[in-house]
Amino acid sequence: QVQLVESGGGLVRAGGSQELSCVARGSVFGIRTFAWYRQAPGKQRELVASIGSGGTTNYTDSVKGRFTISRDNAKKSVYLQMNSLNPDDTAIYYCNVDLRDTYLYQWRHYWGQGTQVTVSS
């Protein structure tokens, strides 16, 4: 059984910083790509950042230079450091992991439960 547990959301003032964490717990055999998505009120879910098994990162244009995605393979974790936050960053943030459960013998994507990030003016 595998679960993704997110933490780090909350209320932050514009210009501030916040770090999100996502930990894959349970019978994890291997992890390929980590990613962060977000969904703002009235908008579709969008890919914010991703990091591959080789360390290659990708960011949506609106967060380039402000957000940094990183991973810790030993801890089976992914992080999203968010700096210079503005109200447009307000959304529910979800981690997504391309992962293989030890006992399922196949790769699939798992989702975290989501964590709310609210940026006040």
DSSP assignments along 30-60, one per residue = EEEEEEEEEE-TTS--EEEEEE-TT--EEE-
From first to last of the 121 residues of the chain, give the pLDDT tens digit: 899 999 999 999 999 999 999 999 999 999 999 999 999 999 999 999 999 999 999 999 999 999 999 999 999 999 999 999 999 999 999 999 999 999 998 999 999 999 999 999 9
pLDDT in tens, 81-107: 999 999 999 999 999 999 999 999 899
Task: Quote the CA–CA distance of 3 and 67 in Å, as a whole number.
Answer: 25
* Dihedral of the alpha carbons of 37, 103, 31, 109, in degrees to the nearest 10: -20
Report which DSSP code applies to 19.
Answer: E
Task: Quote the CA–CA distance of 110 and 10 in Å, as a whole number.
Answer: 23
Give the mean pLDDT of the chain: 97
